[in-house]
Amino acid sequence: MSVPSDRASSPAAEKGNGFAAGKNDSRAAGTQPAPIGVLLVCLGNICRSPTAHSVLQQRIDARNLQDSIRVDSAGTGDWHVGKPPDHRTTRAARARGYRLEDLVARQVREADFFDFDYLLAMDRDNLADLEARRPADADCQIQLFLDYSQRPEVEVPDPYNSGSEGFELVLDMVEEAADRLLAALVERHFRA
Q: Please identify every residue annotated as catalytic.
A: 42, 48, 158
Instruction: Give all strands of the β-sheet with 141-144 in edge-to-edge order.
Output: 69-75, 36-42, 118-121, 141-144
Nearest residue to 38 via CA among 102, 135, 115: 115
